[in-house]
Amino acid sequence: MDASRTRRTFRTAAALGSCCLALVSGCSAFGGDTAEDGSTAQAAQAAAVPVAAADLQNQYQKVIKDVLPSVVQIQASRDLGSGVVYDGNGHIVTNAHVVQGEKKFKVTTANNEEPLTATLVYSYPEQDLAVIRLDKVPGGLKAATFGDTEKVEVGQITLAMGSPLGLSSSVTEGIVSATGRTVSENQEGGGTGATIPNMVQTSAAINPGNSGGALVNLDGQVIGIPTLAASDPDLGGSAAPGIGFAIPGSMVKTVADQIIKQGKVVDSGRAALGISGRTVVDVNYQPAGVAVVTVKPGDAADKAGIRPGDIIIRVGDDDITTITSLAESLAVDRPGQKKTVTYSRNDVERTVEVTLGEQ
């Protein structure tokens, strides 16, 4: 499934309340030995429903009140997106495709009506993450709390916070639809073309401008940075409703901490073959593999004997047909891991074991 830049839609807490009411009414029909007892049980259960709905609503509002002040709007010269306050020193994490190649930005925080200025610290397009820093740290700036991605489970309620379509401090809700997704961005419309592993899939609506904002659980923890929405080819490439993706919070912390401490990413944790390549097609013009264009001397492919002109057709158990499928196969691996690579040279297939390098 292709992925496009961020989009979203709305659902309401009232809908959840109505669902609870229907379930409770259905159960109460079987309660009690007499009509009077049944009526009493129905009345008692019906009275409990608004309390449950109010509890959920109060929890939503508490999370929003706690976290929304940590979500900012970022204005570049050609684009607008969102960001999350990372610490009390004015560092803000966002998507690389929000900052693109620019160095200076205007940032609107929850506590300041007038935009503040910020400067790029470092952009890491390979993971579509970037850190900028406010030139002057305002009073009351509140850093967000990031959660442990390993504890994110399918079915958890999520809130997406950001500035979709320029509407600052907007919130939508949904659930975690899946975890561990590997997704490749398009390069169209300013995308980085990155292949990102372990993304959190959510039904919380995502729209342009949500990029770089916060995907939050009901504990008030940021579990991801909304980055992509799926596109449906049957709908002319428009967004597929309710299918959005967020870079997991643990990965955000790993990258942001390195940028803040080192000024750049020094340990990507991402595996690589050490080649550049291009997709090749067969006689029916169907993608059929990745032709090796260059091999980095001394890197993984070079040590395994892979040379320019070879066509990679399989990595481990994954069939490789395009440069994207190669990137997606390697995205879930770690540097130092051993993988078998099958390639074709002069129409003869060969298989070698490769100790993967680092991206």
Does residue 2 sit within a domain?
Answer: no
End-of-domain residue from the set 187, 217, 249: 249
Instruction: Judge if 84 and 123 occupy the same domain.
Output: yes
pLDDT tens for each residue of 18-36: 232 221 222 223 233 333 4
pLDDT tens for each residue of 206-236: 988 999 999 999 999 999 999 998 877 666 6
Report the alpha-carbon distance of residue 342 to residue 290 in Å, rounded.
11
Range of weakest confidence among 44-48, 158-162, 281-285: 44-48
Instruction: Judge if 94 and 114 occupy the same domain.
Output: yes
- At residue 235, the pLDDT reads 61
End-of-domain residue from the set 219, 249, 279: 249
CA 240 → CA 60, 120, 201, 236, distances in Å? 26, 32, 13, 10
Residue type, 88: G
Instruction: Judge if 24 and 47 occupy the same domain.
Output: yes
pLDDT tens for each residue of 99-153: 998 999 999 988 777 899 999 999 999 999 999 999 999 988 999 999 988 899 9
Taking residues 55-60, report their average pLDDT.
90
Structure pTM?
0.76
What is the CATH classification number for the domain harbouring 278?
A: 2.30.42.10
Handedness of CA 87, 159, 67, 117 (dihedral sign): positive
Task: With a cut of 60, say whether residue 14 has pLDDT above it.
Answer: no
Instruction: Judge if 172 and 232 occupy the same domain.
Output: yes
Instruction: Judge if 62 and 98 occupy the same domain.
Output: no
- At residue 51, the pLDDT reads 61
Does residue 254 sit within a domain?
Answer: no
Q: How confident is the model at residue 189 (pLDDT cuts 50, 70, 90)?
A: low
Does residue 141 sit within a domain?
Answer: no
Q: Which domain holds residue 216?
A: 147-249
Average of per-residue pLDDT values in the chain: 84
Task: With a cut of 90, say whether residue 45 has pLDDT above it.
Answer: no
Does residue 264 sit within a domain?
Answer: no
Instruction: Judge if 112 and 129 occupy the same domain.
Output: yes
Does residue 126 sit within a domain?
Answer: yes
Does residue 217 sit within a domain?
Answer: yes
Instruction: Judge if 63 and 73 occupy the same domain.
Output: no
Instruction: Judge if 33 and 63 occupy the same domain.
Output: yes
Q: How confident is the model at residue 8 (pLDDT cuts 50, 70, 90)?
A: very low
Contacts of 241 (CB under 8 A, 6+ apart): 9, 205
Q: What percent of the chain has pLDDT over 90?
A: 63
Instruction: Judge if 88 and 176 occupy the same domain.
Output: no
Q: How many residues does the chain have?
A: 359
Instruction: Judge if 219 and 280 occupy the same domain.
Output: no
Q: How confident is the model at residue 237 (pLDDT cuts 50, 70, 90)?
A: low
End-of-domain residue from the set 67, 83, 115: 67
Instruction: Judge if 47 and 76 occupy the same domain.
Output: no
Backbone phi, then psi, for 84, in 5-degree steps?
-125, 130
Residue 357 β-bridge partners = 272
Does residue 260 sit within a domain?
Answer: no
pLDDT tens for each residue of 246-263: 999 999 999 999 999 999
Does residue 3 sit within a domain?
Answer: no
**Which among 287, 318, 312, 289 has a CA at the least distance from the CA of 300?**
312
What is the CATH classification number for the domain harbouring 121?
A: 2.40.10.10
- At residue 202, the pLDDT reads 96
Instruction: Judge if 29 and 79 occupy the same domain.
Output: no
Residue type, 13: A
- At residue 42, the pLDDT reads 53
- At residue 50, the pLDDT reads 62
Active site residues per annotation:
97, 128, 211
DSSP annotation string for 309-342: T-EEEEETTEE--SHHHHHHHHHT--TT-EEEEE
Task: With a cut of 50, say whether residue 322 has pLDDT above it.
Answer: yes
- At residue 33, the pLDDT reads 36
Q: How confident is the model at residue 58 (pLDDT cuts 50, 70, 90)?
A: very high
CA 327 → CA 62, 312, 317, 334, distances in Å? 40, 12, 14, 13
Number of domains in the chain: 4
